[in-house]
């Protein structure tokens, strides 16, 4: 706030006085009465001059300022210095609590804590109820074929099985496995390429078999029973044939569609005695609505051990059949 200091200078005013009484009096005016005043402005003494009218009316003297003519506006004064900081106000009343803010986002999981120490062993619980039996497991795969057992006595042991499925001149066993006294050849459903032919049987000798067909090598005989028209016939025939080159099954295949099955045994195959190799025979066929059951025997007349066996047809080839070799002690 600016403070003004007024200093007044008394100026002598000379007034011509006249006793006018209560009535008219002449009034004299003295113009341009000047009063200088000194004020302190922004810390600097400044003189202010005022012009006034001096009026004399009766016994009253008055002074009024002359109308002033505004001069040009002076320049804006400089800003005063910043006032001193006021004293700290009283502490306000404590405000009420604001509304609860929204829940913040869930923080990430902390790292897994260390594994705690193993707890003490608890008290043993009661024994549980026995569960029901489980279902049977699936059947296991078939195990590998076991090795052949030791050679038995009295029972036939299968040594090989061969099937012919296309036209073949003959079945030949090759060298029979050693270690057996007797051998058996079972022929199942042999069929010929030609009609009206008979299966022949020859034996082989030597380490590389030679199938014997010399004169007088075999003696054989057959008997048969047939079921012809519901009548059973027993017709023995076939006197021993000496010195034949083969063992004839004497079972004619009347057509190429007929089949024949038979069995021949080789007894004492390793013997070197003449006439010691007996060959029991048994066969059957069904032809033209007639069943033929045959039985017979034969011998090998030489002393050479038997090492193989062969089956051929009296003419043409074998078309099909199965040949099973067995051994026995």
Tens-digit pLDDT profile for residues 272-293: 887 767 777 787 777 767 777 7
pLDDT of residue 36: 64
- Provide the phi-psi class of 215: left if phi over 0, else alpha when psi is between -120 and 50, else beta: beta
**C-alpha–C-alpha distance, residues 288 and 254, integer Å:** 8
The predicted structure's pLDDT at residue 141 = 85
Q: Which CATH number characterizes residue 176's domain?
A: 2.60.120
On whether residue 116 sits in a domain, the answer given is no
> Is 186 part of any domain?
yes
Is 22 a member of any domain?
Answer: yes
Q: Quick check: is 95 in a domain?
A: no
pLDDT at 294: 78
- CA–CA separation, 246 vs 248, rounded Å? 6
Which of residues 17, 40, 65 is at a domain's end? 65
- Domain residues for the domain of 26 are 7-65
The CA-based angle 302-201-322, given to 5 degrees, is 140
Residue 131 within a domain: no
pTM exceeds 0.75, yes or no: no
Per-residue DSSP letter, 45: E
Contact 247, 298 (CB under 8 A): yes
Q: How many of the other CB atoms lie within 10 Å of CB of 278?
A: 14
Query: Residues 6 or more apart from 54 whose CB is under 8 A from it?
Result: 13, 15, 29, 30, 31, 33, 61, 62, 63
Token pair listed for 219: 């003696």
3-class DSSP state for residue 245?
A: coil
Same domain, 54 and 161: no
Provide CB contacts within 8 A for 310, sequence distance 6+: 170, 171, 172, 173, 201, 202, 203, 204, 211
Question: What's the domain count of the chain?
Answer: 2
Which of 10, 14, 315 minimizes the C-alpha distance to 193? 315
Write down the pLDDT at residue 242.
57
pLDDT in tens, 213-235: 877 788 777 776 766 655 555 54
Give the residues of the chain that fall short of pLDDT 70. Answer: 1-41, 46-71, 146-153, 224, 226-246, 248-257, 276, 288
């Amino acid at each position: 706030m600016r403070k003004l200091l007024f200093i007044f200078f008394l100026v002598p005013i000379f007034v011509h006085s006249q006793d006018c009484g209560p009535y008219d009096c002449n009034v004299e005016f003295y113009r341009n009465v000047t009063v200088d005043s000194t004020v302190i402005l922004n810390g600097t003494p400044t003189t202010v001059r005022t012009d006034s009218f001096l009026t004399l009316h009766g016994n009253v003297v008055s002074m009024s300022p002359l109308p002033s003519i505004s001069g040009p506006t002076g320049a804006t004064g400089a800003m005063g210095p910043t006032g001193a900081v006021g004293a700290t106000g009283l502490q306000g009343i404590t405000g009420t609590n604001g509304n609860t803010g929204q829940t913040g986002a869930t923080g990430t999981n902390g790292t897994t804590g260390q594994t705690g120490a193993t707890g003490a062993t608890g008290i043993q619980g009661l024994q549980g109820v026995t569960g029901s039996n489980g279902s049977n497991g699936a059947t296991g795969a078939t195990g590998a074929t076991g090795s052949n057992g030791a050679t038995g006595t009295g029972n036939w042991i299968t040594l090989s099985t061969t099937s012919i499925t296309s036209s073949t001149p003959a079945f030949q066993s090759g060298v029979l496995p050693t270690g057996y006294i007797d051998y058996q050849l079972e022929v199942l459903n042999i069929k010929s390429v030609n009609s009206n032919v008979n299966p022949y049987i020859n034996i082989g000798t030597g380490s590389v078999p030679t199938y014997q067909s010399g004169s007088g090598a075999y003696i054989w005989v057959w008997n048969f029973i047939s079921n012809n028209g519901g009548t059973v016939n027993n017709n023995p025939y076939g006197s021993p044939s000496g010195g034949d080159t083969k063992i004839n099954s004497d079972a004619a295949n009347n057509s190429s569609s007929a089949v024949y099955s038979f069995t021949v045994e080789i007894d004492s195959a390793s013997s070197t005695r003449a006439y010691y190799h007996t060959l029991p025979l048994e066969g059957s066929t069904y032809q033209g609505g007639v069943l033929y059951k045959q039985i017979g025997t034969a011998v090998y007349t030489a002393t050479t051990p038997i090492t193989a066996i062969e089956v051929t047809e009296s003419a043409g080839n074998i078309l099909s059949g199965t040949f099973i070799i067995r051994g026995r002690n």
